[in-house]
């Protein structure tokens, strides 16, 4: 089994022949550090599995830049607004370091849905998980203080704080870099 096949198998829990069929649609792609996977305003027409490297989803506002998400290995990357609804993206996706991806283009993505009966259901469940994760994020932003949000993210992905510039994590947590710095200082004392 290739790395991609293992990922697909663990995600979707489908028979091995389906795993092979699905993964055959995905093609290797390199992304160099700083390179863009997608630029704001473009219509995203790919879906990628992130095998290695880190990516950043961000929105450029007139006054500031907002990091919506950090893409990490073993997760999928796309802009659903583009892939599913043909709408332009509000954010850019940029590589924070060199990345190895497995990418499927929209044409093949649609073919996959037609040729593999179970695909829509698998994808539905996958997107549903993403939705419930977003529900959690909204809840955290509604109910928790900056410090509690930090602890939540640190509890889930401690390694991120050594890999990603802290200013991006601060933004993703809904606080300024200064606030994150002070929270982290307090944790040490």
Partner DNA sequence: GTAACTTCTTGATTTTTGTCAAGAAAAGGA
Partner DNA sequence: TCCTTTTCTTGACAAAAATCAAGAAGTTAC
For its own copies, the binding residues (CB under 8 A) are: 59, 61, 64, 66, 68, 80-81, 84-85, 90, 113, 120-121, 123-125, 127-132, 134-135, 137-139, 141-143, 171-172, 174
Contact flag: residue 138 with DNA (CB under 7 A): no
Work out which of 16, 24, 165, 187 binds DNA, going by CB under 7 A: 165
Task: Select from DNA, its own copies, none the partner in contact with residue 145, using the beta carbon and a kind-dependent cut-off of 5 to 8 Å.
Answer: DNA
Contact 27, 46 (CB under 8 A): no
Contact flag: residue 179 with DNA (CB under 7 A): yes
Pick the closer one to DNA by CB: 47 or 172. 172
Contact flag: residue 167 with DNA (CB under 7 A): yes
Work out which of 25, 59, 147, 154 binds DNA, going by CB under 7 A: 147
Shortest spacing between CB 95 and DNA, in angstroms: 12
Residues paired with residue 56 on neighbouring β-strands, in sequence order: 70, 94
Q: Which stretch binds DNA (CB under 7 A): 53-61, 114-122, 123-131, 144-152?
A: 144-152
Sign of CA dihedral 84, 86, 87, 91: positive
Pick the closer one to its own copies by CB: 74 or 127. 127
Pick the closer one to its own copies by CB: 41 or 113. 113
Shortest spacing between CB 162 and DNA, in angstroms: 8
Shortest spacing between CB 1 and its own copies, in angstroms: 26
Range 56-62, long-range pairs (CB < 8 A, 24+ positions): 56/93, 56/94, 56/96, 56/164, 56/168, 57/91, 57/92, 57/93, 58/91, 58/92, 58/94, 58/168, 58/171, 59/90, 59/91, 59/92, 60/92
Question: What residue ranges bind DNA (CB under 7 A)?
Answer: 145-147, 165-167, 174-182, 184-185
């Amino acid at each position: 089994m290739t790395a991609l096949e293992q990922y697909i198998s663990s995600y979707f829990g489908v028979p091995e022949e389906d795993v092979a069929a699905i993964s055959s649609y995905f093609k290797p792609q390199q992304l160099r550090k700083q390179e863009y996977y997608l630029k704001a305003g473009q219509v995203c027409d790919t879906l990628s599995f992130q095998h290695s490297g880190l990516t950043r989803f961000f929105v450029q506002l007139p006054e500031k830049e907002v990091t919506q998400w950090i893409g990490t290995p073993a997760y999928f990357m796309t802009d659903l607004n583009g892939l599913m609804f043909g709408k332009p993206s509000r954010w850019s996706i940029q590589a924070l370091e060199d990345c190895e991806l497995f990418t499927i283009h929209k044409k093949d993505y649609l073919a996959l849905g037609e040729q593999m009966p179970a695909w829509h259901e698998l994808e539905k469940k996958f997107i549903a998980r993403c939705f419930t994760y977003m529900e959690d994020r909204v809840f955290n932003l509604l109910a928790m203080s900056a410090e509690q949000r930090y602890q939540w993210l640190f509890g889930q992905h401690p390694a991120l704080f050594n890999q990603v510039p802290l200013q991006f994590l601060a933004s993703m947590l809904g606080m300024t870099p200064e606030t994150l710095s002070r929270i982290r200082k307090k944790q040490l004392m």
